Structure formats: C-alpha cells, structure tokens
Chains A and B, each alone.
Chain A
Amino acid sequence: MILDADNLRIAKGGATILDGVAFHLAEGEVVGLIGPNGAGKTTLLRCLIGLDRPDVGSVRLRGRGLDQWPRQALAREISYLAQSVPCHWPMAVERVVALGRLPHLPPWQSGSGDDIAAVHRAMEATDITHLRGRQVNSLSGGEQARVQMARALAVGGRLLFADEPVAGLDPGHQIQVMDLLHRHANGPRSVIVVLHDLTLAARYCHRLVLMAKGRVVADGPPSQVLTPGHLAAVYGIRARIERAEDGLLVVPAGLSQTSPLAASTPA
C-alpha cells in the first residue's frame, strides 16, 4: 500500500464531515471518489494530502505518517489539483506551469534542465504548449483548467490528487483530461480523482469509492459499486446501467421513490 488511512474522523463547525473513513491506495491505481454533494469527498482528499487534519485517525504515506514527512519531501510526492485554482497575477502559462517545480528548487534558485524538461512535458501532455507565452487570465475556462492540470503534473509527484478536474470542460477536453489521468497512473504512480460524472468514473477508474454522509458506502471495481441499489440509496436516483464494450454506461432515468428530492421535484 502506498497510501493508507483508517478511521478518519473530522468535524467542522459541529457537523461531522468524515465519520470513520478508511482508505487505501495501491501503486498504479486510478481511484475515483464519488458521491452526492456534501458526502465528504473533498474533505477526504484534503485529509489524505495533509491540508486538513483529521480529529481522529491518521494518514500514512509509504508507511510513514504525514506529520513525519518533511514539508518539501511530501510536496514532491504529491501533485494536487484543487477544484478551482485561482491565478492571482496575469502570469504567462509557462511560468504558471513552472510553479509546479517549486518543491524541487533549492532556496534562491530557479530551475535546472530537469525542471524545464518537466514543465515542457507537462505542457505537451495537456496540449497547451502553443499557449505557453499567453497570460493565464486571457485564456478560456477550459484552457485555464488544462494549465492547472499541467501545473499539477509538473510537480511529478507519484500521487496525483485531482478534485473535479473535468468540471466545466467540454466533452472532448473531459476525455482528454481523463485519458491523461489514466495514462499517468502506471508503474509507481497512482491517481485519486473526485468525479461527478459516473460514466467517466466507470470508464477511467480502476476502483471507485462511493461516499455518503461522511462514510464509505461501497469500495470496489466500478461494476460492483455502480449498482442500482447503491445509486438509489446514495443519490436517490433510478439509473439504467448498461454494460458497453468499453465500460459501464450509467444513465440516470429519474428520482427514486425514496429520494428526499422527490417530494419537491416532479418526476
């Protein structure tokens, strides 16, 4: 196990966000975190990379608690792509991507040839090399998302955490990003991604973790997690699940009878 956590509990402002969550990750895996809004996906992600500290439980990276890791060494292990990343100054695309190399730089120094090569690889992988001289704030939303993706890839961490990386992207770029994540996970490198699109999740993830109300409801291969029973219980939807040649196809067909949303919304 490259990463494992057990019995994570965290409360914010009196509400329990995570309620005894266990998580583990093997090398080369793509794990999708799915679940309805407010299920605790993002908080789990933040706990796993040390942004939030669990009240109970601990996270171990390579058998070593996150607290025990020196900051910079930890930063070199983890690439993190937050849900929506601001870019406060109108810097050039290449410079923003190069920020991903910060954990590798000795104090007072700029990057070496390795760093520059990593930046170039990340830009190529996300298809933004042609934008390298443009100011980030002049780009479209999709382009900006790819720049942030490239910035995260440039870190070169063996663990890539992405929080809803395809939100706001057109289908073509959604597939491009998911392809990228999928290819990224090979050898020692793993990916953990928060997703709302269940079909994308089914197609690109080796394993899905379905969360609801701060707990893990199901954890396993997509075919075992994405069952009509689970979807009804967790999302309150009736869904048609079809087995296509390249994975599952999940088509939400309506709210289930038991859904709390059903009362207020005509089916």
Chain B
Amino acid sequence: MTAIPASGTPARLAILKDAPLLVLLALAVVLLTGLSLAVGPAPVPLSGLIESGDSPAAIIMQELRLPRALLAIAVGGTLGLSGAALQGLLRNPLAEPGLIGASSSAALGAVLVLYFGLYAVFPLALPIAAITGALAAVALLYLFAGRNPGAMTLILAGIAGSSLAGSVISLAINLAPNPHSAAEIVFWLLGSLKDRSMDHFYLALPFMAAGILLLLSSGAALDALTLGEDTARTLGFDLARVRCFLGAGTALAVGSGVAVAGSISFVGLVVPHILRPFVGYQPRRLLPASLLGGMILLLAADIGVRLIPTQLELKLGVLTALVGAPFFLVLVFKTRKVMQ
C-alpha cells in the first residue's frame, strides 16, 4: 500500500515531471551548438562570435556558423516535435512529416516559388508556399487515411502524396531551361544547412515558433487519444480542433523548415522512437523531449557532414536519410509483428 499524497498539493507544470531528462537533453543541445560553431574548414576562434568589426573570424562566426547552428536547432527541433505530434495524433510510430508526404509537398511549394523567380521579388513567398504544400499533404492524409489509419494505410497515403509532389518536381526539373538549373533544384532538394544566412533564420523563425506552440499545446489531447477517439472526446477534447491545430502546426513547422533547408527526412521518425521509453511512452511528455532530441540529432548530423571526409560536400539530408531509412525498415518490421 502506497502512501496517498495529501490532497491540496498544488498543480505543477507538466514539463517538470521530466525535468532531469529535459535538462540533460538541453545540455547536449548547448554542447553540440558550441561544437557546431567550432567546426568548419577555416580555423576560427569562438570569440569571433562577439567580436565587432569585419575580421574574417567575426564574419565567419556571425554570418555563417551562427545561422547554421541556429537553423540546425530550429529545423531539427521542429522536425522532431512534429514527428512526435503526428505519431501521437495518428497513434502510429511510423508517422513522420517525410513519410506522410508533408516534406515533399512543402518542397514542391518551395520549388515552384524558386522556379518562377518569386523568391527574388517576395522572399516570404518561399515559406508560405512550402507551408501551403505541407498543409495540402496533411489534408490529403486526413482524406485518404481517415482518422485512425493503420500502418499500411498511412504508408500508402504517404507514398501517394509524395509521388504526386515528386512528379510535379520532376516536371520542373524536366523543363528546367538548362542542366545547371536542374542540378540546382536537385541539390537543393537534398537538404543542407551549408552557407545559410541569418536572413534565412529570421524568415523561418516566426512560422516555426507558431508551429511549435500549436503542437506543444495539443499535448494533453494526444495523451487522451491514447485511449481512442471516443474516450478522448468524453475526456473533454474537441478532436476536430485538435486535428486542425496539429495539422496546421505540422505544416508551419515542416514548411518553414523545408523552405530554408530543403528536405531533411527521418528526424521526425528516429527521435520520438528513441526517446519514447524515457518518457514512459506518454505522448504529451514526448513532445518537449522530441523538440530537444530533434535539435540534438540535426546538430550532430550537421557536424557530421562537415567532419566526414568526402571530396565533395555530403548533403545533410542525404546523411539523415542514410541513417534513417534502415531505422525505418527495422521499425516497419517491428510494427508489422505487433500488428499481426
């Protein structure tokens, strides 16, 4: 018999429950951010970050490495978070922004803006188009897969959405005025954080922040959804609103990320899966942990592409896919065994 705590204990912020884990993850983020700032082809001291004046060290730190690290944090965090949120919403560990087609649809939106030269005239068109693309993919998923999709339906809906977006992107590459434009589109699609500027960060930040808030605010509903939709409704949740919030949040987060970094897949799959046991498999507690976990994974991967010696640049999206795809396979295998 356990002692029952005295009634009247005040309510605590939910996030405090995992304080040790979150502090640990946050420390890793800080550490990796420092490492990300320190790694690069040019030997530059960290002091360049606060140096005034136009020394190469100051410029490299302030204009290149800082935006790169910040974007890794922002993009990785939103990808990890939206993966966790989507998995909670669909109650399926295979859900991920890339696998449900949101990333490729966002890429399609971005490619169209770039293709027609809208970006040069109106930079905001880039994130807006990418977000719209991602939103369309989420809507398509709801339409196709219904409210409670099984693993198979989910993957099929994702394939349908991805191939639809992929075909239009292929058309853009096909009709590119010269091979170099085609190559540019292809390389951009591979996903990278190399040589971005603070402008890119500021462009994406407001959308990402809004997305993060929408996703985090749905945590309790995701917990309730663990018991199915009916029970979640009787626990006081408006599921139409929850779906709306999560769809919009995912689209905002993924769309703005793709707009500045290209497609980076599998972060949203790998991170929640690794962290789930540490938060007692509880969807709500998984959200802040995955936010930090995504930051860690992408920071580490982005340091990795700089450290792995290749003659030509190794793209960040390629590295995450190389690691993520086998992971996905194993996960499909495990899920299939459970579902049979």
Contact = CB atoms under 8 A, between A and B. Distances in A.
Interface in B14-51: 14-17
Given A75-B236, A89-B281, A111 B4 contact: no
B334 interface: no
Nearest to B216: A108
Nearest to B9: A113
Given A91-B281, A108-B13, A110-B17, A85 B227 contact: yes
Interface in A61-96: 71-72, 74-76, 78, 80, 82, 85-92, 95-96
Interface in B234-248: 234-238
B226 interface: yes
Contacts of B281: 89-92, 135
A107 B217 contact: yes
A51 B230 contact: yes
Nearest to A113: B9
A99 B227 contact: yes
Contact of B13 (A50, A88, A91, A110): A110
Contacts of B8: 112-114
Contacts of B1: 129
A49 B16 CA distance: 34
Interface centre among A100, A113, A151 (most CB of B within 10 A): A113
Contacts, number: 120
B11 A89 contact: no
A135 to B, nearest CB: 8
B234 A75 contact: yes
A71 B227 contact: no
Contacts of B228: 82, 85-86, 88
A102 interface: yes
A71 B16 contact: no
Given A107-B220, A113-B8, A129-B1, A102 B282 contact: no
Interface of B: 1-2, 4-17, 91, 217, 219-220, 223-228, 230-231, 233-238, 276, 280-283
A96 to B, nearest CB: 8
A184 B97 CA distance: 45
B14 A112 contact: no
29 contacts: A50-B233, A51-B233, A71-B236, A75-B235, A75-B236, A76-B236, A78-B234, A80-B234, A82-B230, A85-B231, A87-B226, A90-B281, A91-B226, A91-B282, A95-B280, A95-B282, A102-B237, A103-B235, A105-B11, A107-B217, A110-B14, A110-B16, A111-B11, A113-B10, A117-B5, A120-B4, A121-B4, A129-B2, A132-B2
Contact of A87 (B6, B16, B227): B227
A50 B14 CA distance: 29
A106 interface: yes
B226 A88 contact: yes
B280 A91 contact: yes
Given A90-B281, A110-B13, 6 more contacts: A74-B236, A82-B230, A96-B226, A96-B227, A109-B13, A117-B4
A103 B7 contact: no
Given A112-B9, A117-B5, A89 B226 contact: yes
A99 B280 CA distance: 13
Given A109-B11, A110-B14, A49 B236 contact: no
